[in-house]
Amino acid sequence: MAEATLRDPRARRALDALHAKPLNFDLARMAEVPAARGWRIDDYRQPLPPEPSGPPVSDGSWETARRLMRDYEFADPEIVRAIYYDERPLEQRDMLLELRFHGLRFHVGVRIGGTHDETATIDGRTVRVWGWNYRTLQGHFEMGQMDYDVCKWLDTGDVEFRIHAVSRPAAIRNPLIRLGFHLFGRREQLRFARRACERMARLVTDELSPGDSSTVQRAADTVTVAPATER
């Protein structure tokens, strides 16, 4: 990731303030969430370039996707950009997300809930899975959790990027923002996920095709980070 320095003191303060903010939903009840109570459950699966069968290969599709996921590269920077301290381990990060909508910018906070790296058996098939999730903090327009995974099926070599989201609208005090989120929030939520899947496929394909020129804007060129030494 290219390092840029977070020079805007307001953004720095907003990022640091996230550390004291709680989640804006009851995590203990997440497993009991029913769609009938207003929660939405969305799943997306994006095929990535396949590999030979067996464990992930060095610098192959699975490892490339995992590296891109660590840097939040799958997020389209025209829709959302992340502000965080990149020297901190992924599982210890809070992230200030800058949401972009028709020239407007809104900042909301999320907290990484953990990472996982495991080999599992699903429907009799062995799959290697690596991923992480983030959870919404107080002040976010939504409540819930988004999980991001890269999976490799060891029997066939098929690789895919997955998004699993559990969410519902949060209470928004500002009436204009509340109206805007009511009108456009779901559409933008779906747009983010679809673009993330498309973008991940293009980025992985580009990286596995040396010499091909990519037209995909890298989030690393736009993300704003701040080394701890400058705090």
**Residues 13-46: tens digit of each pLDDT:** 889 999 999 999 999 887 777 766 778 999 999 9
Tokens of 108: 């909301």
- Give me the percent of the chain exceeding a pLDDT of 70: 87
d(CA 143, CA 139): 9
pLDDT, residue 222, reads 46
Q: How many CB atoms lie within 10 A of CB 159?
A: 24
> Region 104-116: what's the mean pLDDT?
93
| Confidence (pLDDT) at 181 | 79
Q: Which CATH number fits domain 11-214: 3.30.70.260, 3.20.20.70, 3.30.530.20, 3.40.718.10?
A: 3.30.530.20
| Average pLDDT over the chain, rounded to an integer | 86
Q: Which of 23-27, 119-123, 210-214 has the lowest mean pLDDT?
A: 210-214
- Tens digits of per-residue pLDDT, 127-150? 999 999 999 999 999 999 999 999
The type of residue at 222 is T
